[in-house]
Chain A
Amino acid sequence: MNTAQHGTWNRLFLAWLVAAVSTLGALFFSEVMRLPPCELCWWQRICMFPLMLLLPLGLFPLDPRVVRYTLPLALAGWGFALFHWLLVLGLVPASAQPCRRGIPCGEVGIQWLGFLNLPLMSLLAFSLIIALLASTRQKVSP
């Protein structure tokens, strides 16, 4: 494995770490703390959970093409997270809410340091994953 490949591997590995921490964190909130996920949370989960399983397939053996299959998921998840965050901030009108079944998406369940809520953490996680995945594309081609 040459230096460029090492760089790619490290980035994919880091992206997987972010996805794994996010997935386990989401599962902790819903399964251990029993906070029911709202509908928008589910859309983000649909994008995040597969990354935890797909990215390792690109690590062993190293296959940079895994970016092709994971980047669209990360981008979609980023979009849902952004919408969710804007909703929580009140920048998206309540009528735009796609929520049902009594779990309001606009409700802030958990907030740390006064601003770090779950949609923002999700947005940051997707952003990091996108940055890491996108940066491998430039490294691959000589």
Chain B
Amino acid sequence: MKQKLLFALAAIVLLLGFFLASRLHTDARQEETRQHTALNQANLLRMHSPTLGPAEASVVIVEFFDPACETCRDFYPFVKELMAAHPGQIRLALRYSPFHEGAGQVVRLLEAARRQNRYWETLETLYASQQNWVQHHSVQLDQVWAALQGTGLDLERARRDMEDPAIAAIIQQDMADARALRVERTPEFFVNGQPMPSFGRQQLRALVQEALRTGGN
């Protein structure tokens, strides 16, 4: 009996200690991230970023993403749903953090498509066919081109535009900003300058609702 009590007590103490330490560590890290983001607001938005939604929207979602990232693909419709649920109130700005091998080329292609006014269509086509052109976390560029065949995008022109140094500069700036904001995983969202406390759909929804309530102030 005494032994069972001893064992149960030890197990409870260990588990409680674990959860308490986790809690303290997570809280400290969240606070640290909040402060760090607050100090680096200049890195959040750039004039060159593609955006969706009205310029006067009170809520701005900044998303750092990688077109080759599965979770980014899964979150894309969710963000569009949030925007549709609050029409005219949310604006989405996309920033690049192509962490997957070869994803930089796909970002260049997206920027080239933007010059043909086919940015969002191309992004959606690429997300829809992502499984075909991402294999073992690395991009198969020929499969990317295959996916865009017959979508109305001028592929010859895109091939030329991709090499424009101006596009490379955009990616470099975004990667530098991602580093400054300590974006290490994708997607990473900031809502009106606030980082997500932890990763998840509910957390993003809560952050957006909070921003809608306070009217962007």
A-to-B contact residues, CB < 8 Å: 9, 13, 16-17, 20-21, 24, 27-28, 31-33, 56, 59-60
| A33 to B26 alpha-carbon distance, docked (Å) | 8
| Among B3, B11, B26: residue with most chain A CB under 10 A | B3
User: Are B25 and A33 within 8 A (Cβ)?
Assistant: yes
Q: Would you list the 9 A-B pairs with minimal beta carbon distance, nearest first? A: A32-B22, A24-B18, A32-B25, A20-B14, A24-B14, A17-B10, A9-B3, A59-B7, A28-B21
Residue B160 lies at the interface, judged by CB distance under 8 Å to chain A? no
- Neighbour of A59 across the interface among B3, B18, B25, CB < 8 A: B3
Instruction: Give the shortest distance, in Å, between B126 (CB) and chain A (any CB).
Output: 25
Chain A residues near B7 (CB, 8 Å)?
13, 16, 56, 59-60
Secondary structure call for the A interface: helix
User: Are A32 and B26 within 8 A (Cβ)?
Assistant: yes
| A56 to B17 alpha-carbon distance, docked (Å) | 20
User: Are A32 and B6 within 8 A (Cβ)?
Assistant: no
Instruction: Give the shortest distance, in Å, between A78 (CB) and chain B (any CB).
Output: 22
Chain B residues near A17 (CB, 8 Å)?
10
Q: A20-B11, A20-B14, A24-B14 are in contact. Are A60 and B4 (CB under 8 A)?
A: yes
Encoded as 1 (CB less than 8 Å from any A CB) or 0, chain B from 3 to 33 comes to 1101100110011011001100110000000
Secondary structure call for the B interface: helix
B-to-A contact residues, CB < 8 Å: 3-4, 6-7, 10-11, 14-15, 17-18, 21-22, 25-26
Instruction: Give the shortest distance, in Å, between A66 (CB) and chain B (any CB).
Output: 14
Q: A17-B10, A20-B11 are in contact. Are A28 and B22 (CB under 8 A)?
A: yes
- Neighbour of A21 across the interface among B4, B14, B22, B26, CB < 8 A: B14
User: Are B4 and A28 within 8 A (Cβ)?
Assistant: no
Instruction: Give the shortest distance, in Å, between B112 (CB) and chain A (any CB).
Output: 30
Instruction: Give the shortest distance, in Å, between B184 (CB) and chain A (any CB).
Output: 9
Find the A residue at minimum CB distance from B23: A32
New A-B contacts (7) at CB < 8 Å, excluding given A24-B15, A28-B18, A60-B7: A13-B7, A13-B10, A20-B10, A24-B18, A32-B25, A33-B25, A59-B3
User: Are A32 and B3 within 8 A (Cβ)?
Assistant: no
| A38 to B215 alpha-carbon distance, docked (Å) | 45
Find the A residue at minimum CB distance from B18: A24
| A21 to B7 alpha-carbon distance, docked (Å) | 13
| A59 to B8 alpha-carbon distance, docked (Å) | 12
| Among A9, A32, A33, A60: residue with most chain B CB under 10 A | A32
User: Are B18 and A27 within 8 A (Cβ)?
Assistant: yes
User: Are A32 and B11 within 8 A (Cβ)?
Assistant: no
| A13 to B25 alpha-carbon distance, docked (Å) | 29
Chain A residues near B3 (CB, 8 Å)?
9, 13, 59-60
Chain B residues near A28 (CB, 8 Å)?
18, 21-22, 25
15 A-B pairs, CB-CB below 8 angstroms?
A13-B6, A13-B7, A13-B10, A17-B10, A20-B11, A20-B14, A24-B18, A28-B22, A28-B25, A32-B22, A33-B25, A56-B7, A60-B3, A60-B4, A60-B7
| A20 to B4 alpha-carbon distance, docked (Å) | 16
Chain B residues near A33 (CB, 8 Å)?
25
| A13 to B14 alpha-carbon distance, docked (Å) | 14
Chain B residues near A20 (CB, 8 Å)?
10-11, 14
Find the B residue at minimum CB distance from A17: B10
